[in-house]
Chains A and B, each alone.
Chain A
Amino acid sequence: MIPANPEWLPAGSAGLVALSLGVAVLATAWPRQAHRIGLLGALAVTAWVLGLSATFLHAGPDPETAATRVALGGWEAPLGLMLQLDGLSMTLLVLTAVVALATSLYSLGYVHDRIERRQFWPLWLWLWAGLNMLFLSGDAFNLYITLEVVSLSAVALVAFTGTAAAVSGAVRYLLVNILGSLSFLMGVVLLFGEHGVLDLVLLEARTEAGPTERMAAVLMTAGLMLKAALFPLHVWLAPAHGSAPAPVSAVLSGLVVTGSFYLILRLWMGVFAPLATPAFGILVGLLGVGALIWGSLQALRAGRLKSIVAYSTVAQFGYLLVAFPLMLVDPGAWRVVVFFAVVHALAKASVFLAAGTLQHAAGHDRLAELGAVLRARPRTVFALGLAGVSLMGLPFTGGFIAKYLLLEAGLGTVLAGSLIGVLWVLAIAGGGLLAAAYVLRMVAPAFHRGRRDAGEAVSPWMDWVPLALATVAALAGLAGVLTLNTLALTPGAP
């Protein structure tokens, strides 16, 4: 075996950007072959990411100097743009690759119309490229641009089915996204005006708790919360995610939302770190509790399968907010949060894909009338259940480990003498129960007696991919140590 060489990392990161962009450009220019280009490209990008992560782990940057930084065009910051690869971005790149590969394979079966394929694949490949670039970006303005790449292609994909519900969801999603981007950009402009640099590392070295930083933090966080549909700025999520085609919903709930959350985390761990105070943490935590309760209740009363899943995203992101106050007490807790986000993304994507299969088979996704199809399709129901179990956090799944670690951090807060820590612990435990309730709602009809009807035939891709991804989500716990170790390779993080 060739020893992994740390010198490969910069070229590998730039190469990943170039490769994913190249696939997207090729599919745009040659739409007739877009699905073939897309499939090959998906395999190539996934292989590249896995290779990069293996190199990263073996020859990884030493934790002191940490991040691999790539000067694009050879221009170092502050003049040029830097790509930045560290444990956090590596983890999310791998997550993106896994979910995106599954989605691509699923789409082979789902989007089979000749004309639709030509529209779908280029947009989807641009979305994927945008996500890769987002996780690699190390420059505040470049982050804005990559966010726009992601959101414009995501909006186009939401509108893809062309129904009134989908287009109306897409319009709402677009307006929210533009508003979020502008808010983010205004924050970037404020920081640039104060410090005269855009590079995140340089900014981090210069920021202190001044009026500019406070306002920039508010604007950028609010913008990203809008994009991430974090409570209470979540109202656009269900219409958009619930009416998009299934693979698109999977990517939106699994990856796009996670991308915005990643940025919030990155900014608050770096540039805005001086601003994080306990009072702020408690405020965010309370929002998280609100999200948990509100999202779960909505999921419990929603009538459509995909709406339940969409609302559960709002609820599950509540956990990520609840984790903020824990991070202030136990700085190491952020790794648990990221691990939770990873498991959630995997499970959520597989639930959406499974829901798409059922919707395709039945021709609709009204829960009340899905019983016959659910009973006739045990494989898909199993995928739904397996991913749901991970969402609930039953033992031996990735979700369990994530929640266990979160609870541990919460109990640590209580032991450290913080009374409000009790609330966090209750929220984490109670959220799991609520999740159990709505997951059971989804799969329960399968266990009633009644007519069976497999409905429309589905392609093997649509049959097996959700199951495979759900298995990955359930087994993600096995990769927990690996993930946490990868995350430890993030500079500046405890």
Chain B
Amino acid sequence: MIANALTVILILAGLVFFAAGTAGLLRFPDVYSRLHALTKADNVGLGLVILGLMFQAGGPADILKLLLIWVLVLAAGTTAAHMVAQRTWTHGEFESDR
């Protein structure tokens, strides 16, 4: 019961971060600030949801899998943010027309 309640609370908190990430993606003025929005959702939003889901996991293997997913998404988010920022920095923001 407590586990369920914790799950619900953590997932709800995670959703808030996702919503904030999307809002930032839509509202922020340029790429660099939008990067921040993205990382919030990646790191914290998914992290909270996964934390919540761990309370429902069947065994240590499942927990490990969930943790692995989180680590992988963290790495992907970090790399993607870095790459996009770098490309924008070197090539400018508006070079998509082809």
Do A and B touch (CB < 8 Å)? no
